[in-house]
Amino acid sequence: MIKILISKCLLGENCKYNGRNNLREYLVNIQDKVEFIPVCPEVMGGLPTPRIPSEIRDEKVYNEIELDVTRNYLEGATKVLEIAKENKVKYAIFKERSPSCGVHNIYDGNFSKKTIKGKGITTRLLEENRIKVYSDEEIEELINNKN
């Protein structure tokens, strides 16, 4: 069975910055076909749930009150990479726009709710290590096109 890293929030775990989740039913429904390895890089990096929203700006991660939390994001990303290597994972499904997990887009760093092209800290590290990362928004399309 294929092993895939996945953002815990996509499976319904309340680890999102606001204490909620980003449940994607279609991912829950395929758990019998793949072995998901749930991760939350932000929590793994020592940040609480809920937490102050953070965004990437000038290659660093700042929360909304301007505290530099880059170290937490790097620590979480490193732990996720270790899990990926231990489990010989080649794929991940992550939450788009997240400063950790964004695949194609992230927020602009100004807390304006605008997005820009870019990748989250964990996505970057995984891709540097030849792990293919998919966005939660493209997986449903991929699944639906196969049916």
Mean pLDDT over each residue of the chain, to the nearest integer: 95
Q: If you average pLDDT over residues 66-85, what whole number do you get?
A: 98
Return the domain boundaries, the chain.
3-146
All residues at 6 or more sequence positions from 32 whose CB lies less than 8 Å from its CB, including other chains:
none
DSSP run (H or E) holding 79: helix 70-86
The reported pLDDT for the residue numbered 132 is 95
Cα–Cα distance between 5 and 47 in angstroms, integer? 20
For 41-59, write each residue's pLDDT tens digit. 999 999 999 999 999 999 9
The reported pLDDT for the residue numbered 139 is 82
**Most trustworthy range by pLDDT among 29-33, 104-108, 142-146:** 104-108
The reported pLDDT for the residue numbered 147 is 44
Q: If you average pLDDT over residues 15-31, what whole number do you get?
A: 95
pLDDT higher than 80, residue 145: no
The letter for the amino acid at 85 is K
In contact, 55 and 24? CB cutoff 8 Å = no
pLDDT higher than 70, residue 143: no
Share of the chain above pLDDT 90, in %: 90
pLDDT higher than 90, residue 37: yes
| Confidence band, pLDDT 50/70/90 cuts, at residue 142 | low
| Confidence band, pLDDT 50/70/90 cuts, at residue 27 | very high
